[in-house]
Chain A
């Protein structure tokens, strides 16, 4: 059953189109998402298909746009707000963190805020310090939000559809390097759960936990490691809040070794949480080596392409770390 292939960006566009067709409460907002087709050409021709009342270009005011989206969601609409870069969402933090994430709680469940924030994220395109960050851990720290980071076209379509239908705010991180990546994508409407990790590759020697682009680097690394007889199990987190603890603990209990790989700055990042989950769990007694983290360096993302690459984990870094871990050299 060879399926149809879409790029990650196409899969998002398809999900948005399906949602727009299925549910008239759904509409899109964002800077340049209309005629221009979006900063990364994700929304593309949607404005022609659905009109500028449902594909709304917003002024250069992230706070204002996000505020409108949250307000519309409160009234029962299903807005999807696109940031050009996740870095710019910092301007809208008040709406996302203080309003969207908390209103249902503060009003005793009387309201829901079914808004989706889409955030192109990560480095690799020469965007420099203010357009290349990985701040997903910031949002994953906020109760009241769901935070997902799909790594494949199939997942991003299913998770976006699930996010739009979800009654509460969901933040979707889309790694910019994934937009052109192709993969089998089912047709029609389907949802992918917003709380479940997935094992992308089975192995018994160590567990690599990753998300988004790092999943692909980890899988590449695992293929090379396999030639050395090291079988890595690769877990794609998919969701950062809630984190699928059971999947992580089960895998580490089996392999006894954990390598957490993430693009965000290493200190206090997603990998720190994963390490702590394992250390606190019954998998602790099965650890046969120290936990290892590979994260971004403690610096802004540089503009120089050479330094930009050096600032976040690359496939070779994962191979080297996994080798040392599997061979008990750490």
Chain B
């Protein structure tokens, strides 16, 4: 993952620093720990080490430049990685966490943009808008519509209109790819021709949870799995909302060149899948919602609290068992793996923030029921009758064109507990979707 290089704060009083000499040229390979550049403060000059190994790219400061603490001065990109930085503030960027070790106590310091005229941030440093960073991006309705349709995140842009307002022309200059999509982790579980199955996992899970069911699909069926923000290897980002999950999933799909897909989502991911399927630019050829959230209000608040608080295997295991009827379906290592991941990445805190934003008070703070009123593509809903997280009756009363598959003796994880049947249904639906498209 690319690591951002920022102007470090080397003493408490420092608000800006003067760039000294670079010890490596743009495009050169640098090694973590080696001296990368020098800075001069009011009191001293000092050397700064490379925070990571890789290729020095997007250098945005040269000797003599005075930059605020936290300003982006370049990136270290791992060999072979195709990376373009977003123009957003440092902590949202993929390498933000690494950069933050040196970075400012005031994370809202504006980034400077690029010297070479490609700067997307036309605002001068210290402009009043800088204090608003993280606030909603100003944009015209036309720019918002265009961004929506093309999967571009407005939050990553700085507009050319008055007070940084994003205009239609600003979107027009951008490619179809949302830059922030680079931070959304995804994996082709199976490559191949044609519209892929796109898997979106549920709350607290990650893309690896799809492997058992994906293995049962024909090898000819391409499959892309995505880690939703705050899960797996995808950072949560600043915008903590259901909409942000949708945009992240959509952006990752667009960046992978996926324009038509068989959307398969589980629980929270099912709601995200329904929303992605509902709006351009990705066309859903079929939609499978497994134990979907977003169809009713209630959910199991205690589960989310307990699941996120448990910090030992013994504490976590009972909560995980709530997901299923027969614990054997989960695999023995799940609790251990989950806890290990939480140690390596701030998953628990990010997921807690996400839960507060969208599942507060044991209620689902998002709805996709209305989107299913008139299905645009063949749609199936799969529920375990013993689901203790999202009750199976949430699927009642939907449009009769939506096929409802209810499995007895199955809980919240039909794709694990009844994986053969679910795999068969995915394949059947994908064929129906491709045929009707």
Contact = CB atoms under 8 A, between A and B. Distances in A.
A329 B160 CA distance: 10
A287 B142 CA distance: 5
B168 A329 contact: no
Contact of A286 (B145, B161, B162, B165): B145
B141 A286 contact: yes
B160 A328 contact: yes
A284 B141 contact: yes
Interface string A317-330: 00000000000111
A23 to B, nearest CB: 50
Given A256-B168, A328-B167, A285 B144 contact: yes
A288 interface: yes
Given A328-B162, A329-B162, A330-B162, A288 B144 contact: no
B168 A288 contact: yes
Contacts of A288: 140-143, 167-168
A285 B141 CA distance: 5
Contacts of A256: 140, 142, 168
A287 B141 contact: yes
Interface string B120-158: 000000000000000000001111110000000000000
A297 interface: no
Taking chain A's interface residues, is the majority helix, strand, or loop, or is none over half, making it mixed?
loop
Contacts of A142: none
Contacts of B143: 288
B142 A285 contact: yes
A286 to B, nearest CB: 5
Contact of A328 (B144, B145, B161): B161
Nearest to B140: A288
Nearest to A283: B141
Nearest to B144: A285
A330 B168 CA distance: 14
A289 B144 CA distance: 12
A286 B140 CA distance: 8
B140 A287 contact: yes
A35 to B, nearest CB: 58
Contacts of A285: 141-142, 144-145
9 contacts: A284-B141, A285-B141, A285-B145, A288-B140, A288-B142, A288-B167, A289-B140, A289-B161, A328-B160
Given A285-B144, A285-B145, 19 more contacts: A256-B142, A256-B168, A284-B141, A285-B141, A285-B142, A286-B141, A286-B142, A286-B145, A288-B140, A288-B141, A288-B143, A288-B167, A288-B168, A289-B140, A328-B160, A328-B161, A328-B162, A328-B165, A329-B162
